[in-house]
């Protein structure tokens, strides 16, 4: 993809608790996708060889060596907790984007004066994090302009609509944003620090209790197991009872060491906590309860349009049966006269990045972003002076 001199590149970053999605605005999909973790050795090497251990590994290289590394995730529940590690991931991300999207192999991160950055994060972030990010992108990386926008809103953008309820299901955060004709009422947004990581934790617990296998130090194996054979039950009580009476719905899974597990109900029970967190003694509400709470807080005139277009996105949304379960449970709670539609787009894993790619390629993006000159004049207050995507947008 080529850009004219009048139209600078816009780097789009969707940084989640478990995965980074990065690329250049205008592309159909992110060119750089990797786990948002850094691995450091657990043990000191005792053998001398040509294959020496590095001091740290990033992304997939760290996951492959999970057994001998301590995995550190700088983002937890959508909040950046370790800025030093975050900068390492950003350095790696920009180098990957440049290597995959530029023909000039000598192009460096420092050549960013003509580039813009769109950072996509979770909703209801502390202002201190946005200020720190803006300072980092301007002062360290030298970008010409900076903008930020929440993941659920960008997922609506990706669908090319202005009215929808966006449900973003991530590794550490569940987010709901109702958007009506391009406008968002902050009082109707919902966020809970609960998600795919809790599903993995519960699966590890059940494997230990029911099968005597400890995979606490091998979370990636459990994550892969859930992705391959996990699903959401439409009627959990009925399917759980059937699993006790018959082996028809049982699933087998082979571990890396060749051991084969026979899972009777664990492959769908682990995901049931998304709808009923009380199973693990959590006080958080379930997905459908959060949707209803947000709907009830919305203006009564907007609810018909929101129920008619519920958009799900995020890595957890890939679970088979999830959209059907949401549709089934909501149908029991709303009047039959309301039309209910749950949209699960094929690219929903990174639909928020796609929305950012679309937004970053619009002419109006320059009006939404904070320019370097504004930052130099107003400092961190420059972000508050700009009209942000979260206030309203028009695709």
pLDDT in tens, the chain (395 residues): 333 344 468 999 999 999 999 999 999 999 999 999 999 988 776 555 445 556 789 999 999 988 888 899 999 999 999 999 999 999 999 988 877 766 544 445 556 677 899 999 998 888 899 999 999 999 999 999 999 999 999 999 999 888 999 999 999 999 999 998 878 888 999 999 999 999 999 999 999 999 999 998 889 999 999 999 999 999 999 999 999 998 888 999 999 999 999 999 999 999 999 999 999 999 999 999 999 999 999 999 999 999 999 999 999 999 999 999 999 999 999 998 889 999 999 999 999 999 999 999 988 888 889 999 999 988 888 887 775 444 444 33
pLDDT at 162: 86
Cα–Cα dist 8/288, whole Å: 42
Q: Kindly state the DSSP code that residue 298 receives in the 8-state scheme.
A: S
pLDDT at 112: 66
Reply yes or no on domain 196-273 having CATH 3.90.640.10: yes
3-state secondary structure of 183: strand
* Phi, then psi, of 8 in degrees rounded to 5: -70, 160
pTM of the model: 0.89
State the angle between helix axes of 196-211 and 219-229 in degrees (0 to 180), rounded to the nearest 10.
100
- Kindly state the helix (H) or strand (E) to which residue 98 belongs, with its residue range: helix 83-101
Cα–Cα dist 142/377, whole Å: 16
Nearest CA among 154, 95, 163, 73 for reference residue 362? 154
Residue with tokens 């519920």: 310
Cα–Cα dist 221/219, whole Å: 5
Cα–Cα dist 391/132, whole Å: 21
Ordered DSSP codes for 334-380: S-TTS---EE--TTGGGHHHHHHHHHHTSTTHHHHSEEHHHHHHHGG
What residue ranges of the chain are covered by domains with CATH 3.90.640.10? 196-273
Tell me which fold the domain 161-194+284-345 belongs to: Nucleotidyltransferase; domain 5 (3.30.420)
What residue ranges of the chain are covered by domains with CATH 3.30.420.40? 161-194+284-345
């Amino acid at each position: 993809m080529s850009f004219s001199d009048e139209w600078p590149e816009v780097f789009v970053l969707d940084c989640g608790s478990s995965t980074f999605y990065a690329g250049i605005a205008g592309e159909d999909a992110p060119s750089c996708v990797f786990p948002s973790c850094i691995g450091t050795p657990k043990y000191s090497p005792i053998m001398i060889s040509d294959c020496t251990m590095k001091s740290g590994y990033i992304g997939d290289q760290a996951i492959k060596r999970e057994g001998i590394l301590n995995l550190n995730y700088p983002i937890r529940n959508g909040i950046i907790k370790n800025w030093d590690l975050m900068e390492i991931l950003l350095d790696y991300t920009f180098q990957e984007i440049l290597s995959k999207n530029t023909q000039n192999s000598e192009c460096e991160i420092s050549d960013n004066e003509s580039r813009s950055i769109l950072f996509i994060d979770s909703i209801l972030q502390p202002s201190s994090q946005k200020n720190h990010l803006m300072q980092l992108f301007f002062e360290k990386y030298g970008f010409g302009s900076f903008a930020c926008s929440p993941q659920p809103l960008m997922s609506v953008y990706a669908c090319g609509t202005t009215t929808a309820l966006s449900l973003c299901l991530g590794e550490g955060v569940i987010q709901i944003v109702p958007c009506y004709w391009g406008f968002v009422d902050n009082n109707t947004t919902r966020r809970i620090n609960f998600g795919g990581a809790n599903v993995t934790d519960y699966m590890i617990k059940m494997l230990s209790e029911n099968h005597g296998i400890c995979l606490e130090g091998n979370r990636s194996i459990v994550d892969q197991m859930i992705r391959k054979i996990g699903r959401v039950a439409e009627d959990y009580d009925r399917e759980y009872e059937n699993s006790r009476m018959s082996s028809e719905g049982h699933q087998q899974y082979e571990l890396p060491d060749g051991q084969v597990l026979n899972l009777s109900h664990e492959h769908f029970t682990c995901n049931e906590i998304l709808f009923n967190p009380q199973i693990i003694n959590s006080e958080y509400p379930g997905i459908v309860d959060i949707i209803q709470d947000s709907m009830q807080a919305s203006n009564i005139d907007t609810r018909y349009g929101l129920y008619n277009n519920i958009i799900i996105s995020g890595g957890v949304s890939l679970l088979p049966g999830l959209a059907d379960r949401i549709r089934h449970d909501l149908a029991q709670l709303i009047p039959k006269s309301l039309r209910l539609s749950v949209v699960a787009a094929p690219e929903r894993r990174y639909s928020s990045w796609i929305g950012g790619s679309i937004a970053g390629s619009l002419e109006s993006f320059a009006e939404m972003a904070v320019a370097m000159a504004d930052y130099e004049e107003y400092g961190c207050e420059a972000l508050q002076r700009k009209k942000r995507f979260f206030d309203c947008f028009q695709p």
